[in-house]
Amino acid sequence: MQPSDETRLALTEVTPTLGNCDNCLTGTFRYHFESQEFLWSEEIYQIHGYTRGEVVPSYQLGYTHIAPEMRDQAQAFWDDVSARGAPVSSYLILQDVKGRNHQVLVTGDRYTQNGVTAGVWGMLIDLTHSVHADSHRLANEAVAAVAETRGVIEQAKGILMSQTGINADDAFELIKQHSQDTNRKVNIIARDIVDQARGLHDGTDDGADDVAEDAQARHLARRIIRSI
């Protein structure tokens, strides 16, 4: 369920941009100091796993839904927002009635009525969907990066093997040793070998005979070994 227009406007005005948060369930709450009454929007009930009328909103009810390890942080947020005349925010983990964790951002500020501080108004933004989406994206990017790095290393090993006659293990040991000696990452060393080999081959005469090609290969091998 998308936030109401009122909630969207409040989110734009009060909170910074939260990245890809189009599907973040966002609700508002209000607490009146004198009556000690809490009011929740429909979205707040949903985040906690309730429907309106099923429970009576209260500070204690909300507190019991905070993950135990974050209750001190939640208490500090409430003490701060109740005492200050400026917006306060905190990231928390909330557990709904089914025990599911929600990663949320809560932000609040005091509000006034007739020029007098009357209570606290705030928003609860469920970031769980956004966090999971970002985690999935980062995981995919990490897998792709690993695959790319491995591909470059295999290319570099192949160049050393074909141009020097050493085996795969020895080629990798050469790359690792140079990485340690120069304090540079293995994939960077491998990339340098691949780039240098391509640069050297760019000047090769395609019409050269076998003898010339062998000489070029030996020259390339020496250049590569010196470079690492």
CATH of domain 5-126: 3.30.450.20
Residue-wise pLDDT tens digits, 39-62: 999 999 999 999 999 999 999 999
The lowest-confidence range among 13-17, 68-72, 116-120, 134-138 is: 13-17
Which residue from 109, 110, 104 is spatially nearest to 124, judged by alpha carbons? Answer: 104
- Paired with 91 in beta bridges are 105
Between 185 and 37, residue with greater pLDDT = 37
Residue 224 has pLDDT above 80, yes or no: no
Domain boundaries, the chain: 5-126, 137-227
For the chain, the farthest-separated pair of C-alpha atoms sits apart, in whole angstroms, at 96
Token pair 């030996």 in the structure block, residue = 218
Q: How far apart are CA 97 and CA 101, in angstroms?
A: 10
- CA triplet 199, 167, 185: central angle to 5 degrees? 55
Closest CA to 127 of 3, 14, 25, 6: 25
Q: Write down the pTM of the prediction.
A: 0.54
Per-residue pLDDT at 179: 81
Q: Is the pLDDT of residue 23 over 80?
A: no
Q: What is the CA radius of gyration of the chain?
A: 31
Region of poorest pLDDT, from 126-140, 151-165, 187-201:
126-140
Strand pairing class (101-113; 88-95): antiparallel
DSSP output for 103-172: EEEEEEEEEEETTEEEEEEEEEEE-HHHHHHHHHHHHHHHHHHHHHHHHHHHHHHHHHHHHH---HHHHH
- Cβ atoms of residues 2 and 46 within 8 Å: no
Give the C-alpha separation, 158 to 175, whole Å. Answer: 12
